Amino acid sequence: MRPIGDEAQVYTQRFWPYIDIYGSWHGQLVASVPADVVRNPDAPVRTYGVVDIPNPGWTEAAHKNGARTLGGCFWLRPDRFENFVQRDPDGSFPVGRKLVGIKQYFGFDGYFINQEDAVSPAQIKALFAMFRYMKSLDADLYLQYYDADLPGSGELDYQNEINERNVGSLGTVSDPVADSIFINYGWPYADKDLSGSAATVAGRGFDPRKAAVASTECQQGGFNPAEDFGSVASPGHAAPVSWALFVENQIWADAAKEGITATAGGRAQYRDLERKFWSGPAGDPSQSGRAQARKPPYRTDVLNYKVWDGVAHSIVEKSAISALPLVTNFNIGVGTHLAVAGETVGSKAWNNAGIAEVAPTWQYWTEHAGGATSAFVLD
């Protein structure tokens, strides 16, 4: 078995100033899964556990940059649900207590609740009662609820917007439950400009930019997803709700699987694509915005960065640097060798997101004059 942390092609995040919340995806294989299935990510029978704990290194990196991290809590089938929401005679929830304990032990900030299997009205009521109990144990616990099972009935019915059927997931201002709702990916058809979702949330007394999150499916769509958040939020046109990027690093993961990022040239190529993802086709956030018009079919030609606005087109960055002096060694959490105080102390590849440091800036671009060319590379 290969040691953990000995690869230079592992993805690490470099654009934290655009991120408020990072959520892990999508769980660990249970102990009963055979070793050959563990080694084969394409194997047909891969049983995952209910709770996904975010990588502690990523939690450290997120916190250094002022972002939260969430674990995942994945759907339980009806035959297991009763045990999950079991209540003791004193009114407490053993599983809820354990979930809070796991969160506190590992130092992350809360959970993304991905309940995508229908349950009974009594079961969904018990689930939300457990959420309230968990918040009574930990006032800092953050919960994001997926637009899937309806909070009143337990019915699995994606609304693709926030409306009167699912806004109850938030509770009330005086009795809050979920901190935000992750809107399913069909919102461009149900609530194209997201104004309806924003109005519904505001009508309940919540801030739409905190409590409503519109999703973009980057895992399948890459630079050409079906969801066009850039048409909703752009310079001079503030976003009505927050924005979620689902598996935004998939283009890197695909390249790593193909061995492309095993070379310095491959990593440089895909770090450039990463910059275009966050900053726009020009690789410069001051020049964000698509260079080509979008047209169907979407979720095809997924590396065509010219049809993507860039995250910077819709979201204003926030720096974690609030005072001087700033001390950094430009550690990005991954490398081909290890140096301390400028001296090479290890010649092997390594990765550890937790020791990455806050950089003076998340973005470099170059301005050329007189035919000169230049580039800035961190590898």
Mean pLDDT of 216-227: 98
Residue 270 has pLDDT above 80, yes or no: yes
Bond prior to 26 in cis (omega within 30° of 0): yes
Half-sphere exposure of 271 (CA within 13 A, CB side): 25
The region of weakest confidence among 130-139, 150-159, 351-360 is: 351-360
Question: Chain-centre distance of CA 301, in angstroms?
Answer: 23
DSSP state, residue 149: B
The two tokens of residue 316 are: 């204003």
pLDDT at 78: 72
Give the helix ranges, DSSP H, for 138-235: 187-190, 195-203, 208-211, 218-221
Residue 183 has pLDDT above 90, yes or no: yes
CA distance linking residue 228 with residue 248, whole number of Å: 14
For the chain, give the percent of residues with pLDDT over 70: 96
CA distance linking residue 169 with residue 184, whole number of Å: 14
Which residue from 266, 277, 151 is spatially nearest to 225, judged by alpha carbons? 277
CA distance linking residue 112 with residue 142, whole number of Å: 8
* H or E stretch at 23: strand 21-23
CA distance linking residue 72 with residue 27, whole number of Å: 7
At 248, the pLDDT band (50, 70, 90 cuts) reads very high
CA distance linking residue 194 with residue 214, whole number of Å: 8
Phi–psi pair at 111, nearest 5 degrees: -140, 145
Residue 1 has pLDDT above 70, yes or no: no
pLDDT at 176: 97
| pLDDT greater at residue 333 or residue 44 | 333
Domains of the chain: 16-313 (3.20.20.80)
72-106 pLDDT, tens per residue?
998 777 778 999 999 999 999 999 999 999 999 99
At 338, the pLDDT band (50, 70, 90 cuts) reads confident
The two tokens of residue 148 are: 């899937």
Residue 167 has pLDDT above 90, yes or no: yes
Q: 29 pairs with which residues across the strands?
A: 48
pLDDT at 379: 58
pLDDT at 369: 76
Give the helix ranges, DSSP H, for 138-249: 187-190, 195-203, 208-211, 218-221
pTM over 0.85: yes
CA distance linking residue 97 with residue 130, whole number of Å: 9
Which residue from 25, 15, 83 is spatially nearest to 51, judged by alpha carbons? 25
Mean pLDDT of 254-281: 94
Residue linked to tokens 């995040």: 13
Mean pLDDT of 325-329: 87
- Residue 142 burial (CB count, 10 A): 19
- Which of 10-19, 49-58, 163-172 has the largest mean confidence? 163-172
Residue 123 has pLDDT above 70, yes or no: yes
The region of weakest confidence among 221-235, 247-261, 275-289, 322-336 is: 322-336
